Copies of this chain bind each other. A is one copy, B any other.
Amino acid sequence: MAETKRDEAQSELYYKKERLKYSPEEEARLERQHFWRIIDAFRFYRAHVQEQIVRAERQFKSLSPHHQSLVPGVLSNLARISQCAEHNQKVLQAIIQNSLHMFENVEYYSEREDDPGKVRPSSTFDMDKLKSTIKQFVRDWSEVGQAERDSCYRPIIEEVQRLFPCDEYDVSKVSVLVPGAGLGRLAWEIAQLGYTCQGNEWSFFMLFSSNFVLNRCEKRLPDNSDFSMVAGDFVEVYTEPESWDCVATCFFIDTAHNVLEYLEKIWKILKPGGAWINLGPLLYHFENMANELSIELCYEDIRAAMVKLGFIVEVEKESMQTTYTENDRSMLRYVYDCVFFVARKPSGMHFKNQSDDQQQSLPPAAKSPRQEDADRFT
């Protein structure tokens, strides 16, 4: 793959947009339309919040003077929310400014389509996505998010270090792929430890935002670090077999239309002896969405399919409780009961065939110092 690596710590992080292979003209048109829809969503945020504030003010003022006098702080609180939205909008404008030419191999920008002064209304769906993106900044890049990162990213990072320890490996030669990289913190942390790490992300909301935050990161990566981000659909982008030592997925596999595609893809792109580390729930993103394929498998089914593909499950914890973009001032908390596992693609000469369980010979295994106890959990 020819994506630009982040060779120098001070250099800009470039993004490569992998294109889908079918219907190129129509695909290009839809991509461009999608790009501008998300830019519009970033621009519409403040107006959207303001609509809600105006509604709340109007409703409050419709109360009797007696009721209004019982809660004198309401209007000043709404004014403060308005100020916060104003502040957030400034950050969003900076993100847009950064995003208009962010891909090194695709140019979506045209003066004809760009009108910074014009704010086009966005859908509730896109506004919800944008708000999730803002919360993701807290999770990935704020001090407040440290506890969540400790519960979600640390177990994954510790497994990377256990599987590929720096006293046994030249870790700069160990390649780790993070599909569903979001705002990039997990991939960044792995690169920070010296591993070659690539994040992959499909959502423009996340891509615009990670491009912004990664290039403004005060804590720089070491000079010799090898960190990259690739935009595009995981299943479409990664086609090279046996090219990764490790795939690390966090709150990712339930974003699939068909999670079995993800399993097969991860199996295919892992080198023999490579490992898949996963943490997350199974709350399928396309559940109940009209006209969308959504194959919703429970963990038992996924595990059985993994074993049929040939994976050896080395580490497995079925109930790791985590939160996701938690607001500790909210009276409702979402607690995710996650599965955590490490699954190995065996490096031995013989292992199960994917479809018929017959033994067959394969090329020699890649170096894997822990291969001798690979199946200790199975």
Contacts and interface: CB of A to CB of B under 8 A. Distances in A.
A60 interface: yes
A332 B332 contact: no
A377 interface: no
Assembly of this chain: how many copies? 2
Interface string A311-341: 0000000000000000000111111111100
Contacts of A122: none
A285 to B, nearest CB: 13
A282 interface: yes
Interface residues of A, number: 41
A58 to B, nearest CB: 10
A305 B338 CA distance: 41
A166 interface: no
Given A62-B293, A301-B74, A333 B335 contact: yes
B337 A67 contact: no
Given A59-B294, A74-B297, A297-B74, A332 B260 contact: no
Contact of A333 (B258, B337, B339): B337
A302 to B, nearest CB: 8
Interface in A256-272: 258, 260, 263
Contacts of A73: 300-301, 304
A305 B70 contact: yes
B59 A281 contact: no
Given A63-B295, A335-B333, A69 B260 contact: no
Contact of A70 (B59, B63, B260): B260
Contacts of A63: 258, 260, 295
Interface of A: 56, 59-60, 62-63, 66-67, 69-71, 73-74, 258, 260, 263, 281-283, 293-297, 300-301, 304-305, 308-309, 330-339, 354-355
